[in-house]
């Protein structure tokens, strides 16, 4: 059995438009298994046509967390994975539509090394918002897109293992890093997960593991182009290019896999 989990807020002040029905309808064109929505209890008013959904989980809003919406992201992610019945799961945002069966892209790619390897089988991620470690971004390591994750449940569940580290983080310290561009929600999410497996990981300073970022990506994820390969569309970011210089493209990723070149 397979499951798709639509997670997070449906509408909020910064993104007031409701795209949930577009999301559901796009999925049901090609997917007949379990479909779940995980959102906040105060978002129930926006769920007005969900007859094609198998389960709706309404959570108490934990608040944004130490920076931006990271606690909301990881908490809704965790509850979605825990409540999904499938052995293969796709978990996405509520502002997206999907035109292809993304489960078809799951494979058993071998890992490159054992360095920072966590997943048994790689998780599919979208290249948009996944930062190339060789880019010129100020913070360029361990930035994995949160737009979608697809893979086996036993691997996906590892992504929420660091939630207790996020809850106990020094807010002032992390906000100083955030305001200086040295960390973001995506990076803190990945570092918190890594710390749950490797105690030496520092949530506030990744400099001791930055040189292994490429191995982390190649060992744990399959990076595919969001539009041209996966067929996704994000209604809240309609003009976001998949070819921005800072994004890790599928071609760059595959080139690294083929040559076994860890940079």
What's the pLDDT at 262?
Answer: 44
Domain that holds residue 122: 2-259
Contact 62, 75 (CB under 8 A): yes
3-state secondary structure 163-189: HHHHHCCCHHHHHHHHHCCCCCHHHHH
| Residue with tokens 């506030």, as numbered in its chain | 204
Number of domains in the chain: 1
| Residue 223 pLDDT greater than 60, yes or no | yes
> What mean pLDDT is reported for the chain?
94
| Strand pairing report for 96-98 and 55-59 | unpaired
Give residue 260's pLDDT band: very low, low, confident or very high (50, 70, 90).
low
Q: What CATH number did the domain enclosing 206 receive?
A: 3.90.550
What's the pLDDT at 258?
Answer: 75
Q: What is the pTM of this model?
A: 0.95
Query: What CA–CA distance (Å, rounded) separates 151 from 89?
Result: 6
Q: Which two tokens stand for residue 252?
A: 């760059």
What's the pLDDT at 14?
Answer: 83
* Per-residue pLDDT tens digits for 59-85: 999 999 999 999 999 999 999 999 999
Tell me the average pLDDT across 74-98.
97
| Residue 184 pLDDT greater than 90, yes or no | yes
């Amino acid at each position: 059995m397979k499951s798709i989990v639509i997670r997070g807020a449906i509408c909020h002040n910064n993104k007031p438009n409701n795209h949930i029905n577009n999301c559901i309808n796009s999925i049901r064109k090609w997917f007949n298994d379990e479909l779940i929505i995980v959102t906040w209890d105060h978002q129930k008013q926006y769920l007005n046509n969900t007859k094609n959904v198998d389960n709706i989980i309404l959570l108490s809003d934990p608040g944004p967390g130490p920076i931006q919406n990271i606690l909301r992201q990881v908490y809704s992610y965790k509850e979605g994975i825990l409540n999904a019945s499938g052995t293969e799961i796709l978990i996405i945002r509520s502002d997206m539509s999907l035109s292809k069966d993304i489960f078809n892209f799951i494979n058993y790619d071998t890992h490159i090394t054992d360095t920072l390897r966590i997943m048994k089988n790689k998780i599919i991620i979208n290249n948009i918002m996944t930062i190339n470690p060789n880019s010129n971004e100020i913070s360029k390591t361990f930035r994995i897109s949160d737009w979608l994750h697809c893979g086996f449940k036993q691997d996906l569940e590892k992504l929420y293992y660091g939630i207790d580290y996020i809850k106990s983080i020094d807010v002032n310290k992390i906000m100083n890093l955030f305001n200086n561009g040295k960390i973001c929600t995506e990076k803190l999410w990945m570092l918190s997960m890594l710390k749950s497996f490797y105690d030496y990981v520092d949530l506030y300073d990744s400099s001791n593991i930055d040189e292994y970022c490429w191995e982390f990506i190649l060992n744990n994820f399959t990076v595919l182009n969001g539009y041209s390969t996966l067929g996704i569309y994000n209604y809240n970011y309609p003009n976001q290019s998949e070819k921005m210089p800072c994004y890790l493209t599928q071609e760059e990723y595959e080139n690294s896999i083929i040559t076994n070149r860890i940079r």
